[in-house]
Structure 1
Amino acid sequence: MKIRGKKYKVSRAKVDANKLYKLSDAVNLVKETSYTSFDGSVELHLTVKKEGLSVNVELPFPGGKKKVVEVASDKTIDKLKLGKIDFDVLLATPDMMPKLIPFAKLLGPKGLMPNPKTGTVIKDKSEAADKKSAKSVLIRTEKGFPIIHTTVGKVSQKDVELSKNIVAIIDALGKNMIIKGVISGTMGPSIKLEVSQLNADSQAKAQ
């Protein structure tokens, strides 16, 4: 059994484990129960009706570390031969895909293998500028399981920003696909979301 520290126990005591919270209340509670000395992340965990879901979502208020986006080139191939990965997203034009196939086992498990379904295969390099500046994140279920884990922002962000980011994800997945949801701060307690209210918030765009 995992032993929890005193700070966690104090935070956990503020959360009713049997209660389903409205989105706005849950976001507020995440901040109230955050006890890290750094600006923690706000995480969203969803159980959906089927596995294999994958969608790019543009977050209205992205926060945290800026992702490094690379367009595949011969220099990328040289780095991959050395097992070096220094990017968070890899884009590729169709002509580069055959060169990347030998590295599928390296890139695939990390979710970095370019794929038309995730919008990471681009027609030409001119399209890369839009992809690099986009606020989109890839939301997908875990392999073999109908669950999704993703970060929606930082604890320091405004409540409405975090709520709208969550709403954007709900809308992209389809509100009827969600069975249950939980949010939490880094190392903080889990806060259950009222799914019916999530859907209502989604329709209202968290306004």
Structure 2
Amino acid sequence: MGSTKNVDMSIDPKDLPKVVKADVVEQSAEPASEGEAKPTAIKAAKKPRKNRSAKYSAVRAHVDKTRKYDPFSAIEMIKKLSYSSFPGTITAHGVVESAGEVGSVALPHNTGKTYTVAVFSEEVAKQIEDGNIDFDVLLATPADMPKLTKFARSLGPKGLMPNPKNGTLTQDIEGKKKQLSSGTVTIKTEKKAPLYHVVIGKTDMETKDLVENLTALLTATKTKTRKLSIAATMSPGIKVELAK
């Protein structure tokens, strides 16, 4: 049998060498015992809250946060609560399941937003080379693609590169120009978020026209939109009932 070591219990704990703990926080499923130091919780940095004006807070108080308004009531409420000194732009903000192209909608009434449409040509190519991109939409035919390829780095990040998905690469240039001028909108989400924004009009438009534009949007996106709200340039947001 091995010999038994005698432990000297007379040693003062104060004389023992101190153990320096490394700054490592280990997570344990067991709760900390009484007297044990609890691991430091690492909290995620909170986003700073927006400082809203007194006027915004006053009009926000009129909105029922728990309610989803029908299109007519939502438009009426937005027009009533908009407090800008100019005709505010009313924008619909929709949430879908994944980022990308949602579809298109032909709004029955002019939204007050105008698009500058360019058709690819040698002159337009020279403007792009010089960095003079002053158009909102660029139309081209499939035959133009070999010449367009070198401008992909300039046009792509701006969403201006013609492509067949949104109809900007087409044989029917005149038909597409007419479609754009009639109020047809291609709906795309933000690049990295399943959220889209569509202008449906101005606060000084007739309520009936705004309701019809909003209804057209809801109908066109009813299989993809999960949530939708509208807001003017200076107004709180209003939740809207989705199309059934």
Q: TM-score range by the shorter chain?
A: 0.7 to 0.9
Aligned to 2:243: 199
Matched to 1:33, the amino acid is L
Q: Distance in 2 between matches of 1:67 and 1:83?
A: 19
Aligned to 1:178: 225
Larger deviation: 127-136 or 137-146?
A: 127-136
Contact 2:110 2:182 survives alignment (8 Å): no
Q: Distance in 2 between matches of 1:112 and 1:61?
A: 25
Contact 1:54 1:118 survives alignment (8 Å): no
The answer to whether structure 1 residue 146 and structure 2 residue 194 are counterparts is yes
The answer to which structure, 1 or 2, has the higher relative contact order (CA under 8 A, 6+ apart) is 1
Aligned to 1:72: 120
Contact 1:71 1:91 survives alignment (8 Å): yes
Q: Provide the TM-score with structure 1 as the length reference.
A: 0.86
Contact 1:56 1:119 survives alignment (8 Å): no
Segments of 5+ residues of structure 2 without an aligned counterpart are 1-48
Aligned to 1:203: none
Q: Distance in 2 between matches of 1:159 and 1:189?
A: 18
Q: Which has the larger radius of gyration?
A: 2
Residue deviations 1:143-186, cap 9 Å, x none? 2322111111111111221121122222222x132211110010
C-alpha deviation, 1:15, in angstroms? 1.1
Change (3 A) 1:86 1:66: same
Q: Provide the TM-score with structure 2 as the length reference.
A: 0.74
Aligned to 1:20: 68
Q: Distance in 2 between matches of 1:141 and 1:129?
A: 23
Change (3 A) 1:142 1:68: same
Aligned to 2:54: 6
Q: Distance in 2 between matches of 1:125 and 1:146?
A: 30
Aligned to 1:205: none
The answer to whether structure 1 residue 49 and structure 2 residue 93 are counterparts is no
Q: Over aligned residue pairs, what C-alpha RMSD do you find?
A: 1.8
Larger deviation: 121-130 or 176-185?
A: 121-130
Segments of 5+ residues of structure 1 without an aligned counterpart are 201-207
The structure richer in helix per residue is 1
Residue deviations 1:1-36, cap 9 Å, x none? 221222212221211222221221111111011111
C-alpha deviation, 1:119, in angstroms? 0.8
SS in 1 for 2:190: coil
C-alpha deviation, 1:90, in angstroms? 0.9
Change (3 A) 1:70 1:136: same
Count of paired positions: 196
Change (3 A) 1:69 1:157: same
SS in 2 for 1:106: helix
